[in-house]
Amino acid sequence: MHLGGRFAASGSRPRGASLSIAGLVLFSIVTADAAWPRTLTHSPKHHGPRLAALTPEPFLRELAAKHPPSKPSATGCTPAKFRIALDVGHTAESEGAISARNVAEFVFNLHLAQRIVDRLKGEGFSETRLLVTEGKAKPSLFRRVAAANALDANLFLSIHHDSVPDSMLEAWEYGGKTSHFSDRFSGYSVFVSHDNPDFAASLRFADLVGNAMKAEGLQYARQYTLPIMGRNQHELLNKDTGVYRYDQLVVLRKTRMPAVLLEAGSISNRDEEVAMQSPERQEMIASGVTEAVKEFCDPRWAILGPL
């Protein structure tokens, strides 16, 4: 997610991202696998940061009082009928952040999202849809929201990879080119919007995702509470699961179903970038997300298995 960092402005699809796209209203659904590129993809153009606005920071107890825990998403949830809109963050035209080795965030998002879809469908969630939106950044946000709402999805999850504001980046040489990195921060993070029409359910799913990431041995990103983040600073809603509040995100506040955004890891961190590229880390995250979806669909699943 571009909360700062360098952004690709290339209008062409990144090399190595092999897509098979079937048209649907306002968006594209990718159904075929795309192998991770054998060589790292270089994006020739990028531009400066766009920083997010700081959100209000009331105590979590106040939020909980106004939004009591919601009931389970479905009574006797049937996975085959449970519709999940899995959003690939950014587009081929607006690629998001650029990694320490010059790979577009969109490429990372696409490959991880495809792996999550495969895992979910393998567990019986056959109505999972992978949303790949085309176009420039801002218009694409409303297209993906409209697409998810048109699907009448039960759950919306947007997949991203993290970076840092430009002021925190350092230069280094990679592949004969000047690249930029920050090894200072790492980890996943989960975002929800208080303005989502079902904030309580969004927060519940976000906590399930965070718990699942912890169970896989992953740590959440701590930097969003620090003053150094400036306008990228966000309220930490759960210090155990790494769930943050980000009210202004269009894909979280305008969707008509519980909605969560997952920053899977930092691609500006050189070590974590390598980890995020690996099938092992992608499978770890896909497994965690799937377990979270199972329990959100029906809390009894975690104890009894498929019902």
* Structure confidence at residue 137 (pLDDT): 87
* Structure confidence at residue 306 (pLDDT): 54
Is the model's pLDDT at 53 over the cut of 90? no
pLDDT tens string 160-203? 999 999 999 999 999 999 999 999 999 999 999 999 999 999 99
Kind and range of the H or E run holding 252 = helix 250-253
Beta-bridged to residue 261, according to DSSP, are: 158, 191
Q: Domain locations in the chain?
A: 7-13+60-304
Residue 33 CB contacts under 8 Å (≥ 6 apart), including other chains: 114, 118
Does CATH number 1.10.3720.10 belong to domain 7-13+60-304? no
**∠ CA 128-129-135, rounded to 5°:** 160
Helices 270-277 and 105-122, interaxial angle, to 10°? Answer: 40
pLDDT tens string 80-104? 999 999 999 999 999 999 999 999 9
Task: Categorize the per-residue pLDDT at 49 as very low, low, confident or very high, splitting at 50, 70 and 90.
Answer: very low
